[in-house]
Structure 1
Amino acid sequence: MNQRLIDVIDRASAANSAEARVAAFDWGALTGELDSYGCAVLPKLLSPAECRNIAALYPDGSHFRSHIIMAGHGFGKGEYRYFKYPLPDLIGGIRTALYPHLASIANEWNARMGMDQRFPADHASYLQHCHDAGQTKPTPLLLQYAPGDFNCLHQDLYGDLWFPVQVAILLSEPDRDFTGGEFALTEQRPRMQSRVEVVPLRQGDAVAFAVHNRPVQGAKGNYRVNLRHGVSRIRSGMRHTVGIIFHDAR
């Protein structure tokens, strides 16, 4: 069997595995969490071995298209690398498998907020829209934090087209590999103080969260709230995370 055929089989196997594990979650409950709080945890999306294997990719620049030092851009302190296409099979498979579930939520949110944009049911079609708009660079990334590092509150918007939900997967184990480094989400409601949601995660857990806006039901109908996300200061050890962003960038 030649290497090209082996690679095709491996990608198909990874895609099937990703689809099965994503489908096993209670998406009704997850949708309720996202509607209520702007985020939802997908526990044990990746195994410890998968987490270690992905984190081990970080030093090898051949997997990535760019390397960002956060301090140089005012993003905080730490660093990350954007994967290049083709993505690692597991990350690409998870991205593809998650998208239809999240697209359904995004379409409902846009309808409630009075926004016209709707997202296609499959990820390949959405990526084609991005590419037609000149957004062709892959956005999944691998982040690395050392003691004293943090990520400022921000929104991952990379062009005219952006997807309203993204996912972060914690690859390191809290209190063993690192301390500190909590994932935090802030929500600004009109004429109100910001609400903070701190999301406890273990190794392999993923959090799906709103990128920019989400609808909230008020006394006079739905209104938009604005969200930002970040990571608190790492106090010791090393923290690795995979970020899965569903739109491509310019």
Structure 2
Amino acid sequence: MLAEKMSLLETRLRQIDWDDMAAQLAAGGAAMLPALLGADACSGLASLYPRDEAFRSRVVMARHGFGSGEYKYFAYPLPELVGRLRSRLYPGLASIANAWQAQLGIDARFPATLDDFLARCHAAGQLRPTPLLLRYGPGDYNCLHQDLYGEHVFPLQVAVLLSEPGRDFSGGEFVLTEQRPRMQSRVEVAPLRQGDAVVFAVNQRPVQGARGSYRVTMRHGVSRVREGQRHTLGIIFHDAQ
């Protein structure tokens, strides 16, 4: 069953149009990857949540003012499916991230492989894995935020919805906001179905203006869940201190 899931995942990863993704990200700071995971893979990942041995820590959002609901960070070694997603998505996203660096006039570049980037993180003391599972019940939500965990921050991350809207839960929309200089914030909702992924900017992204590129600040969150239970997989590429 795992081999079948991996084969299906590899097929979907090979079908990604990276030029189209770069264009979507340039236009709005987010890009959709429809049906990245199948229903069985989604259910299998969500079923890991009660198994504490798979995780390094649990965060109850209300205790920290993050919102309502909870999430768990995976421990190393990551589940095979999660590790495969992280390592296979990274190279294409690194190419986009490096184009952003050049557009913003930043000399630093991201390595071509996830292993090399994580080696850079670990050398700086960022040793803790950051992929996570989030669980929301009725009334839960996630405040607008940015996932910044240390000196080395990869500028893109991925969220995969593991539950099916309208069947498993209602409400709970994935929300992005963009703050441009001297302008009101712009809000966008990613229309996710089960297995869909959204790639989005972690912190800042470049926008081409009349006088060159400038930075806009991005934040993301989840609106209030009205009914049911919502699970999400988060793929963050930098590790944490």
TM-score interval (norm. to shorter): over 0.9
Q: Is the 8 A contact 2:141 2:224 kept in 1?
A: yes
Q: CA separation of 1:203/1:17 partners in 2, compared to 1, >3 Å: closer, same or farther?
A: closer
Q: Is the 8 A contact 1:14 1:93 kept in 2?
A: no
| 1:79 aligns to 2:70 (yes or no) | yes
| 1:56 aligns to 2:50 (yes or no) | no
SS at 2:117 equivalent: helix
Task: Name which of structure 1's ranges 17-26 and 68-77 shifts more when overlaid on structure 2.
Answer: 17-26
Letter in 1 for 2:186: R
Q: CA separation of 1:90/1:112 partners in 2, compared to 1, >3 Å: closer, same or farther?
A: same
Map Cα deviations across residues 21-52 of structure 1 (whole Å, 9 max, x no partner). Answer: 21211111111001101000100110000000
The residue aligned with 1:102 is 93
Task: Name which of structure 1's ranges 164-173 and 115-124 shifts more when overlaid on structure 2.
Answer: 115-124
Measured in 2, the distance between the counterparts of 1:12 and 1:200 equals 29
SS at 1:58 equivalent: coil
Q: Is the 8 A contact 2:168 2:230 kept in 1?
A: yes
Measured in 2, the distance between the counterparts of 1:20 and 1:52 equals 19
**Residue 179 of structure 1, aligned match among 149, 153, 170:** 170
Q: Is the 8 A contact 1:48 1:204 kept in 2?
A: yes
List gaps (5 residues or longer) in structure 2.
Answer: none
Letter in 1 for 2:153: W
Letter in 2 for 1:179: S
Deviation at 1:83, TM superposition (A): 0.2
Q: Is the 8 A contact 2:5 2:41 kept in 1?
A: no
Measured in 2, the distance between the counterparts of 1:82 and 1:96 equals 17
Q: Aligned residues, how many?
A: 241
Q: Equivalent residues in 2 for 1:100-249 (5 A)?
A: 100-249=91-240
Letter in 1 for 2:197: A
Deviation at 1:113, TM superposition (A): 1.0
Map Cα deviations across residues 88-145 of structure 1 (whole Å, 9 max, x no partner). Answer: 0001001000000100010001111112221001100000000111101000000000
Measured in 1, the distance between the counterparts of 2:92 and 2:68 equals 33
Measured in 1, the distance between the counterparts of 2:188 and 2:2 equals 36
| 1:26 aligns to 2:17 (yes or no) | yes
Measured in 1, the distance between the counterparts of 2:5 and 2:171 equals 32
Q: Is the 8 A contact 1:180 1:232 kept in 2?
A: yes
Measured in 2, the distance between the counterparts of 1:24 and 1:77 equals 36
Task: Name which of structure 1's ranges 33-42 and 110-119 shifts more when overlaid on structure 2.
Answer: 110-119
The residue aligned with 1:35 is 26
CA RMSD of aligned residues (A): 1.6
Map Cα deviations across residues 199-233 of structure 1 (whole Å, 9 max, x no partner). Answer: 10000000000000000010001000000000000
Measured in 1, the distance between the counterparts of 2:106 and 2:80 equals 34
Task: Name which of structure 1's ranges 11-20 and 162-171 shifts more when overlaid on structure 2.
Answer: 11-20
Identity fraction in percent: 62
Measured in 2, the distance between the counterparts of 1:160 and 1:122 equals 19
List gaps (5 residues or longer) in structure 1.
Answer: 1-9
Measured in 1, the distance between the counterparts of 2:109 and 2:6 equals 25
SS at 2:48 equivalent: coil
